[in-house]
Amino acid sequence: MEKVSEMDRLIVNLGVLICLFTLVYSGRPLVYRTILPDSRPSSIAVGYDNGLAFVFDPIRGGISYAWTGPFLDLEPTWTGKLIKPARVLGKVFFRDARDLPFRKGNPEIESEFVFKGYDVGPERITFFYLLDGSPVEQIVTPLKTEDKEALHIQFKVADPGESYWLLLSPQPQARITSPEAEQIENCLKFQGKETYSVVIQHD
């Protein structure tokens, strides 16, 4: 019989304790709807196998921030009656606090945003919403580059004749690119297609 030292036992017990609240990845992204820091209630945290994670805020209508690391510590949201936000585990490389960053028609005017839900599949999550009554699918997948982590975002729109705009905010640690977009000041403009892609890459 294999002998187990007291120290080994302690390490195993600590490991079990940590696993209770620090999540372990599976094939699909992990998806938790809870109270998250710097994002509004009802926000959705998504974590991928490769250590990429982000928060989608259905009230703001976009990604609030993205990070690399072990994902989330949900213990504060599960202990006691007073809810405290989950703890983000890792280093945030992208933040956006602007309301409704993806807009239809006129970038100066906030589109009406109606959240409709999400699908979870292998290495991807798809958010469904209406922009001014027109359906949009936003598919987010982790992108593997040589040495940098990146989120690949695909917007599928129902009105290819309309212009769509992604408002950009200054990102000291991330680069945002799109092969289909025309950059006009601090916006990416999309028009004429049913699908547009955007990459948020950790610099």
Partner 1 sequence: MLFLIVYSIAFGQNGAPSSYRIEQVQLPESMSPEVSAVAFSPRGNLVIANRHGDIWIRDNESGWRRFAYGLHEPLGLWVNNESDIYVIHRPELTRVQDVDGDGEADRFRTISDAWGLTGNYHEFAYGLPRDKNGNFYGGLGLESAGEIVMSRGPIRMRRVLDERHRSVTPFRGWVFQIDPEGRFIPLAMGFRQPAGIGLSPEGDLFATDNQGDWVGSSTLVHVRKGHFYGHPASLKWSPDFSPDQISREKLWEKRTRPAIIFPHGPMGGSPGEPVWDLTEGKFGPFHGQIFIGDFSALISRVHLEKIAGEYQGACFPFIEGESIGQGNMRMAFAPDGTLYVAQTTRGWAEGEGLKRIVWTGAPLMELRAISLTETGFDLEFTEKPDPILAGQATIYRVRRFQYHYHEKYGSPRINESDVEVVRVSTEGGRVRLELAELRPGFIYRIEATDLTSVDGHKIENGVGYYTLNRLLNGETDRSLPVEMKKLDEVVQSRQPTDVQKGGELYRQYCAMCHLPDGRGSQGIGAASFVGPESPLAKSDDELKAIISAGKDDKGMPPFGSTLSLEEIQDVVAYLRQAFGR
Radius of gyration of the chain (CA): 19
Counting contacts by CB under 8 A, is residue 165 touching partner 1? Answer: no
Q: Is 2 exposed, middle or buried (0-12, 13-18, 19+ CB in 10 A)?
A: exposed
CA–CA distance from 83 to each of 6, 55, 121 (Å)? 36, 18, 29
Instruction: List the structure tokens of 199.
Output: 């990459």
158 is a site residue for partner 1 (CB under 8 A)? no
How many residues contact partner 1, by CB under 8 A? 28
Q: What is the nearest approach in angstroms of partner 1 to the Cβ of residue 148?
A: 28
- What DSSP state is assigned to residue 22? B
Residue 133 interacts with partner 1 (CB under 8 A)?
Answer: no
**128 vs 160 by CB, closer to partner 1:** 128
Tell whether residue 120 is a contact of partner 1 (CB under 8 A). Answer: yes
Contacting residue, 1, 7, 24, 82, with partner 1 by CB under 8 A: 82
84 phi and psi angles, rounded to 5 deg: -120, 150
Asked if 35 is part of the footprint of partner 1 (rule: CB under 8 A), the reply reads yes
77-92 in b/e form (b: 16+ CB < 10 A) is beeeeeeebbebbbeb
> Any contact of residue 118 with partner 1 (CB under 8 A)?
yes
Q: In this chain, which of 49, 91, 121, 203 binds partner 1, going by CB under 8 A?
A: 121
Token pair 């599928």 is at which residue?
156
CB of 85 to partner 1, least distance (A): 8
- Residue 185 backbone class (left: φ over 0; alpha: ψ -120 to 50; beta: rest): left
- What is the token pair recorded at 163? 């212009």
Position among 83, 109, 158, 184 found at the interface with partner 1 (CB under 8 A): 83
Nearest CB to partner 1, comparing residues 100 and 199 = 100
Q: Which residues bind partner 1 (CB under 8 A)?
A: 28, 30-35, 39-42, 58-59, 74, 78-83, 115-121, 128
